[in-house]
A = this chain, B = another copy of it.
């Protein structure tokens, strides 16, 4: 039966083999890039990575968990610091849209959101991840508040929510090529609304 096991990559014993983990995440990314969310399956990843399915299930209990790890391996979007909150936010959205458009990240994140609609654990993982990101965007608001660009009683989390929502919807409705002018207008509506009276 399985005489000729472990043909290519070797196990390194009782410790988790980082090569395998890498191979799996890389295979997952490749599958997503080439076949999209529709073609993304644990089987396909296992085939591609020359890994056993149980190895994947051992470390990533669900498709969502694997998707999240793949997403997090992507380079982060940089949040500019121009000294002006409108420019900061516009720059951030522009970078984010470009990143989502030009790397597999967009597809991955879309997949993750889709998965979260039918998978509890994906929803939980996504919520966890979003929490981290929200505070991150909230930072730009805090900097603006320190500069007096934003009123003292403004809730940064809610602003971040508005901005993130705007980004999500553009991703989910294939509008990542939005003109900068339109993005700037949207941002301005919010920025004006949260400015000092």
Q: How far is the CA of A23 from the CA of B41 in the complex (A)?
A: 30
Residues from chain B with a CB closer than 8 A to the CB of A113 are: 113-114, 117, 172
CB-CB contacts of A147-175 with B at 8 A, as 1s and 0s? 00000001100110110111011101110
Check B186 against A158 for contact (C-beta < 8 Å): yes
B residues in contact with A188, CB < 8 Å = 193
- Residue of B39, B173, B194 touching A126 (CB-CB under 8 A): B173
Q: Is A61 an interface position by the 8 A CB rule? A: no
Q: Given contacts A119-B38, A194-B189, is CB(A169)–CB(B164) below 8 Å?
A: yes
A182 within 8 A of B: yes
A30 at the interface (CB under 8 A from B): no
Which residues from B are CB-within-8-Å of A76?
none
- Residue of B37, B111, B193, B194 near A194 (CB, 8 A) is B193
Q: How far is the CA of A116 from the CA of B162 in the complex (A)?
A: 22
Confirm or deny: A185 has a beta carbon within 8 angstroms of a beta carbon on chain B: yes
The one of B39, B111, B169 in contact with A168, judged by C-beta atoms closer than 8 angstroms, is B169
Q: Does residue A103 face the partner (Cβ distance < 8 Å to B)?
A: no
Interface status of A84 (Cβ within 8 A of chain B): no
Q: Are B38 and A172 in contact (CB under 8 A)?
A: no
The 10 A-B pairs of least Cβ separation, nearest first, read A193-B193, A192-B193, A38-B118, A165-B169, A114-B117, A165-B165, A189-B193, A114-B114, A37-B118, A110-B117
28 A-B pairs with C-beta separation under 8 A: A1-B39, A37-B117, A37-B118, A38-B118, A111-B117, A113-B113, A113-B114, A113-B117, A114-B114, A114-B115, A114-B118, A116-B173, A117-B172, A127-B173, A155-B185, A158-B182, A161-B166, A162-B165, A162-B186, A162-B189, A162-B190, A165-B168, A168-B169, A188-B193, A189-B190, A189-B193, A189-B194, A193-B193
